[in-house]
Chain A
Amino acid sequence: KQEVTQIPAALSVPEGENLVLNCSFTDSAIYNLQWFRQDPGKGLTSLLLIQSSQREQTSGRLNASLDKSSGRSTLYIAASQPGDSATYLCAVATGNTGKLIFGQGTTLQVKP
């Protein structure tokens, strides 16, 4: 059974730091991996989608990498800002049914 883990559960950093969020999964047979952002009381906003054949994707200050063989993905946030404070979720698609398996998330606080 596929399990997705995100460590740490919470992270607090000063503004301007570069930081890395981690996501690991137990079964390397994934179709894709998607990173989301969730603000308190809000829905999920898609940040990046990495196909299983890709190694990384970039969008602005965000860079996500995927290493299927080791079952890991990282989300790199450059020059963090207070507006980046949110919970970051990773999710893997394990089949063509569209079903996503989510991690528990990392709650990030960026202090001014």
Chain B
Amino acid sequence: NAGVTQTPKFQVLKTGQSMTLQCAQDMNHEYMSWYRQDPGMGLRLIHYSVGAGITDQGEVPNGYNVSRSTTEDFPLRLLSAAPSQTSVYFCASSLRASSYNEQFFGPGTRLTVL
């Protein structure tokens, strides 16, 4: 198993540009989520999905869209990038959104918005 994979590893955008961060898992996990990690703020939940076709907002959803058309993929879209979205983005997955399930994280995408 490749686990949780993310592409790209690094990205530089200009303010106002849009892009999609890709996340995929091959463990047949129902639950997937996106976090951003910022110095002094720790990791914060952006969006999550408990299964294909179901998504919900986390703590900091503004400026981001998600969709979940398949179990394997959970892309994160930046609609109009802003410097405040400069961060490291992590995708995570677990078997289900339950207290019994360990969460697994991808390697991250480091995004810089100029």
Contact = CB atoms under 8 A, between A and B. Distances in A.
Q: Do A and B bind each other?
A: yes
Interface of A: 31-32, 34, 36, 41-46, 49, 51-52, 89, 91, 93, 96-100, 102-105
Contacts, number: 63
Interface of B: 4, 31, 33, 35, 40, 42-45, 48, 50, 56, 58-59, 90, 92, 94, 97-108, 110
A85 B11 CA distance: 28
A99 B42 contact: no
Contact of A100 (B4, B45, B106, B107): B45
Given A96-B97, A99-B48, A34 B103 contact: yes
Given A51-B99, A52-B99, A98 B33 contact: yes
Given A96-B97, A97-B97, A99-B58, A34 B102 contact: yes
B105 A32 contact: no
A100 B35 CA distance: 10
A43 B89 CA distance: 10
A42 B99 contact: no
Contacts of A32: 99-100
6 contacts: A34-B103, A44-B92, A46-B104, A51-B99, A98-B50, A102-B42
Contacts of A105: 42
Contact of B107 (A31, A42, A49, A98): A42
Contacts of B94: 98
Nearest to A36: B105
Contacts of A52: 99
B100 A51 contact: yes
Nearest to B6: A43
Contact of A96 (B40, B44, B59, B98): B98
Nearest to B58: A99
Contacts of A93: 99
A36 B103 CA distance: 10
A91 B33 CA distance: 15
A99 B45 contact: yes
